[in-house]
Amino acid sequence: MSGGGILLLLTLALWAWRAVDYALIGSLAPLGILAFGAVTLGLGALAKGRWWRSAVRIWGTMMLLAGLARAGLSIALAFDPSVSIHASEAQTAFYHAATALHLVAGIWLIVRPPERPAITRI
Amino acid sequence: MRGSIVRGMGVGALATLLTMSASATGGTGSMDSFIGERATQSQRAHAALQIELALMNAGLESEQRAYRVPNIHWALDLIMPPQTGINVVAQLPASTPSERNIIIGAHYDTVPGSPGADDNASGTYAAIELAERLSELPVRNTNITFVLFDAEEDGAVGSNVFAAEWLASGRPMHSMHNIDMLGYDGNGDGVFDLDAPNGPVADAYLAAADERGIRLVRANFSSSDHVSFRKRGFTAVFLSENLTDGDFNKAYHSPKDTVIDRAYMERGIDLAAGAIEALVAP
């Protein structure tokens, strides 16, 4: 599997985990993002032509925006940690690693989208 | 509230922790033991134990209700972990079976970097002293629930969780009484602020103030824990020091919030006790 393919799967897995975690406590916002991404990628995989690359770039753009939002929050908290103790305590190694994944995957998927997966039509 | 998780703690484990807490702080729920930063999860967890100990000393059994809920705005759910915290809840049943319920609450958390004496060790202490005083009433026609809320400073999360759970339970609520900042009287005029809807609850406070020679200023406050109840349709009261007449505590949300005017605070507690006694033991 290509690097882009691995990054695509990693971001989907991360959002699947977030979607389930939040759905269990009553928030469907992450599930909505995941569903939008999954439908876009699914339609892109089934369609002919350049739709797959466009679908991956849409997902990559969403990941890049999420990464920028996460990084922006970290930078804001570095200047004033008292804004929110909850947000400050969220700044763990896992949080920063996930931010890096979003940024790297976002840029990668936009610049070098992986090849369309092979789909066997029945 | 969406996704709240309530869990209890074993009595044995709690007793051990409470003993450790008491020996660590050198107190058994005295007011001084509530002063100190209570912002991080570990600081708040320690404070919750101290509150349980103080309620136990006041003669009430309490429980920690831990919660894990979505963030205050859905967009934050996309980039942040869920919010977690602990409300401490104690029940004082009516002396005869009753469907009437009154909630008395105060938040115990602080902003980072502040010892939170006025905001809100004073309210925490007031709620616990009210628990002690009201439990001594020989007759009560109302169930009273005391709640020490977590994470008021982070968007009134604890009170939103509690109010949502109460609403979902379908139990009636006569009124909620929120005490937030009761320990500063810079100009020494002895005035308190009251935000309460017109009606029997406000009348009870006004009568209690009259009896004690206390001047109450009617005010409107759109922040603090009472708002979590009002937005769900409950009657909620906010009692505080005089925040509105240019007598605002300059140490608010700062490392200098280390002092409580105890005599003034006790007058505020006595005022609240008088009003609530009139409501629960008419």
Q: From the list B70, B74, B79, which residue is nearest A66 (CB)?
A: B79
Residue A33's nearest CA partner among A51, A19, A46, A23 is A19
Which residue of chain A has the CA closest to B81?
A90
SS (H, E, C) B236-263: EEEEEECCCCCCCCCCCCCCCCCCCCHH
Region A58-84: what's the mean pLDDT? 94
**What does the pLDDT look like over B149-184, one tens digit per residue?**
999 999 999 999 999 999 999 999 999 999 999 999
Measure A114 CA to nearest chain B CA, in Å. 25
The rounded distance, in Å, linking the Cα atoms of A13 and A16 is 5
B77 contact residues in A (CB cutoff 8 A): 22, 27, 29-30
Region A35-40: what's the mean pLDDT? 96
Q: Residue A118: inside a domain, yes or no?
A: no
Q: Residue A122: inside a domain, yes or no?
A: no
ipTM of the complex, rounded to two decimals: 0.91
**What does the pLDDT look like over A86-97, one tens digit per residue?**
999 999 999 999
Bigger pLDDT: A120 vs B169: B169
**Mutate which of B78, B165, B252 to disrupt the A interface (most A C-beta within 10 Å)?**
B78
pLDDT at A1: 74
Q: Residue A101: inside a domain, yes or no?
A: yes
pLDDT at B80: 96
Low-confidence ranges of chain B (pLDDT < 50): 1-28
Q: Where do the domains of chain B lie, and which CATH numbers do they carry?
A: 89-280 (3.40.630.10)
Provide, for chain B, the percentages of residues in helix, strand and coil under a 3-state DSSP scheme, each rounded to the nearest 5: 40, 20, 40
Q: Residue A54: inside a domain, yes or no?
A: yes
pLDDT at A119: 67
Could you tell me if B153 lies within 8 Å of chain A, comparing CB atoms? yes
pLDDT at A47: 87
Q: Residue A120: inside a domain, yes or no?
A: no
Q: Residue A12: inside a domain, yes or no?
A: yes
Total domain count for chain A?
Answer: 1
Q: Residue A48: inside a domain, yes or no?
A: yes
Confidence of residue A48 (pLDDT cuts 50, 70, 90): confident
**Domain assignment of residue A58, given as a range:** 3-111
Could you tell me if B263 lies within 8 Å of chain A, comparing CB atoms? no
The rounded distance, in Å, linking the Cα atoms of B189 and B192 is 9
pLDDT at B20: 43
